[in-house]
Amino acid sequence: MAKKYDVIIVGCGPAGIFASLELSHAGIDVLLLDKGREIEARVCPIQGGSESCLFCSPCHLVSGFGGAGAFSDGKLTLSTEVGGPLKELIGFDEAKSLIDYVDSVYLKFGAPHEVYGTGEKVAELERRAILSGLKLIPVKLRHLGTEHCRWALQAMQKHLSPKIDIKLRTAAKSIIAEDGTVKAIEANNGERLNCTYLILAPGREGSEWLTNEAKQLKLNLNCNPIDVGVRVEVPSVIMEELTSVLYESKLEFYSRSFDDRVRTFCMCPGGEVIMESTGGSDPVITVNGIGYTKHKTYNTNFAILVSTTFTEPFHEPIAYGKYLARVANILSGGILVQRLGDLMEGRRSTKARLQRSLVEPSLKAATPGDLSFALPFRYLKGIVEMLQNMDKLVPGVAAAHTLLYGTEVKFYSSQLQLTPCLETEISNMFAAGDGAGVSRGLVQASASGVVVAREILKRLDKNLS
């Protein structure tokens, strides 16, 4: 007879890991499941010298122990204001308490103690942002860097391994529920994994799978906004005044032409632009950024994303985002790169023009081209307007030699109907993390895992007493 776990967790990203850390001391049977590999086996061929994406299945950058966060810049945003809607789901006070707790756990596992985003200079930057037509959201931030992020995750895995079962290179295929209560997960190898409680934390890479499973189970879904844009790369000296104080600048702007919300995201001082394959069984190549604490480049990169909320009958934000990414893939074989000056002049970038640029592309595999063939005018207009306003705050960011890489798309699952403890309409089945539409970053994803784990522990204690 197949073993029955007390708790099965789908996804080894921050939500799944932090749920596991909470549950690992309770003396219960827990299984942590992920389709990706061990951290040390997650090696991207591009970073190893390959000239093009090999479409590894699954992509080593977004799947495996640590989730996509294992290869991120490792930014811990210590605020309820950015990083997800957790405070709306569980309340401000509880969200703030959980963020502080999550921060303490990261420190325990090796996160550095330095915190950005504090001091008198922050208020001055806020004032200057307003004068530039931008809103600066100041947040306390702890920067791990890609290498420290991996070290912390390896320490977490070492801590968890003796206490719970960790099954990697195994994907969840389907959710099994009977009479409104979760019963099991069927793995891609056909194995049925029985459980009393199920935590769904598949990350952005698993958001499409989760949406499809929710539809099969006839759960109510709300369509999340879609974030589409480009990754910008400039010389580090241009952004240094902001990054030395804030590390990451959370800037918001509403486009003059369409009144769309436009924002900066995932700023990587001294970082590198990377490509990643995402989208499950039907992958596309998108662009992202990473940064290290010691190994620095001469560039800083960040995303500019345009958030769009569509009206009925539209209900396929993931399909739409993949479609836009695929257009860039068709045009370039992967990722397009274009100088801002070329975009403004209505011409494509070429290798010769890039060689004359003041910014040397950190992503050597990107193909020079024209982003106007890949992104709708509405998105490009918002991105250009954002850069023009940013140039008032940070002179030089909208220079002709600034590089734009496309396409960057953030895939979020359609929002499931959840209780304050993040339980779905299926009894004993919970959802957490970015892939469930509950968070937008490492800290709130981690906190959502803690919320779910503590609720399960309460129920187990009640049932045992």
Mean pLDDT across 123-133 = 97
Reported as a single tens digit per residue, the pLDDT across 387-417 is 999 999 999 999 999 999 999 998 766 778 8
* SS3 assignment, position 363: coil
pLDDT at 254: 97
More confident residue, 185 or 145: 185
Half-sphere exposure of 88 (CA within 13 A, CB side): 9
**Every domain of the chain and the residues it spans:** 4-116+143-221+416-464, 226-410
Structure tokens at 141: 């931030």
pLDDT band at 181 (very low <50, low <70, confident <90, very high): very high
How far apart CA 125 and CA 242 sit, in angstroms, is 8
67: tokens are 């989730």
Per-residue confidence (pLDDT) for residue 160, from 0 to 100: 97
Cβ contact 435:10 at 8 Å: no
Of the pLDDT bands very low, low, confident and very high (cuts 50, 70, 90), residue 367 is: very high
Tell me if 8 sits within 8 A of 185, measured CB to CB.
yes
Distance CA 274, CA 268 (A): 11
Q: How far is CA 465 from CA 22, 25, 456, 459, 460, in A?
A: 20, 18, 14, 10, 9
Residue 373 confidence (pLDDT) = 97
Q: pLDDT tens digit string along 338-356?
A: 999 999 999 999 999 999 9
> Does pLDDT of 45 surpass 70?
yes
Residue range 13-27: mean pLDDT, rounded: 96
* Banded model confidence at residue 147, pLDDT cuts 50, 70, 90: confident
Average pLDDT estimate for 307-332: 85
**pLDDT for position 72:** 67
pLDDT recorded at residue 1: 60
Q: Could you give the 3-state DSSP secondary structure of residue 406?
A: strand
Q: DSSP string spanning 276-316? A: EEESTTS-EEEEEEE--SSS--SEEEEEEEEEE-PPTT---
CA neighbor of 295 nearest in space, from 47, 46, 69: 47
Residue 145 pLDDT > 90: no
Q: Does residue 465 have a pLDDT over 50? A: no
Strands (E), 144-271: 165-167, 172-178, 181-187, 192-200, 221-222, 226-235, 251-254, 261-269
Of 248, 233, 24, 30, the residue nearest 144 (C-alpha) = 248
Contact (Cβ atoms closer than 8 angstroms) between residue 78 and residue 140: yes
CATH class of the domain at 4-116+143-221+416-464 = alpha beta
Q: What is the mean pLDDT of the chain?
A: 91
pLDDT of 330 > 90? The answer is yes
Q: What is the pLDDT of residues 81-112, one digit of tens each?
A: 888 888 888 889 999 999 999 999 999 999 98
The radius of gyration of the chain's CA atoms, rounded to the nearest angstrom, is 22
pLDDT band at 199 (very low <50, low <70, confident <90, very high): very high
High-pLDDT (> 90) share of the chain, %: 70
Of 58, 96, 105, residue with least CA distance to 78: 96
Name the nearest CA neighbour of 266 among 241, 281, 288.
Answer: 288
Local confidence band at 50 (pLDDT 50, 70, 90 cut-offs): low
Q: pLDDT for 55-64, tens place per residue? A: 777 777 778 8
